Amino acid sequence: MNGLQQPEQAIQEFRRALALNGASPEAWFNLGVSYAALGDLDHARLAYGQGLALAPGEPRALYNLALIEAQAGRLDETARRLKEAIAQQPSAAEFRNELGRVYLQLDRAEQAVVEFERARAIDPASVSIAENLRIAHEMVQRKQRRK
């Protein structure tokens, strides 16, 4: 069942699965995805947390949890979670691109450039990474001109 297409139904199914086996990190992760699809970020955060307690370092759960933290405006926590996800899956250009975007929001353009460069090395065809890198370079140049 795809939790993104029918999240209410998916939540019911994952809750039933967890009633039978509460030690399933995958079920907790999917429950988090379903709650996030509904916009219920508090329950999504709790579900991801439960999944991570059972499978510490699961990169996709860390990434999704980081996205929830970003939506809540907790950018330092977002960056921390993204770094954890990258440590587990260094080849994920998507994770590095998102970390670069967070660094831009935190006014850390130099760090953003580093992450976008790393993301581009992994996925050189990505238009969004290239555009983010361009923006980060412009921000660095503006900062240097102000000095």
> By the 8 A CB rule, do 90 and 121 touch?
no
Separation CA 126–CA 50 (nearest Å): 33
Domains of the chain: 1-56 (1.25.40.10), 79-147 (1.25.40.10)
> By the 8 A CB rule, do 118 and 96 touch?
yes
pLDDT at 71: 93
Three-class secondary structure assignment of 58-93 = CHHHHHHHHHHHHHCCCHHHHHHHHHHHHHHCCCCH
> pTM value?
0.89
**Residue 48 in tokens:** 């991801």
- Cα–Cα distances in angstroms (integers) from residue 45 to residues 25, 55, 133, in the given order: 14, 15, 30
pLDDT at 101: 98
pLDDT in tens, the chain (147 residues): 444 569 999 999 999 999 999 999 999 999 999 999 999 999 999 999 999 999 999 999 999 999 999 999 999 999 999 999 999 999 999 999 999 999 999 999 999 999 999 999 999 999 999 999 999 999 999 999 987
What contacts 23, CB < 8 A, 6 or more positions away?
54
- The angle at the Cα of 73, spanning 9 to 55, to the nearest 5 degrees, equals 55
Separation CA 95–CA 137 (nearest Å): 19
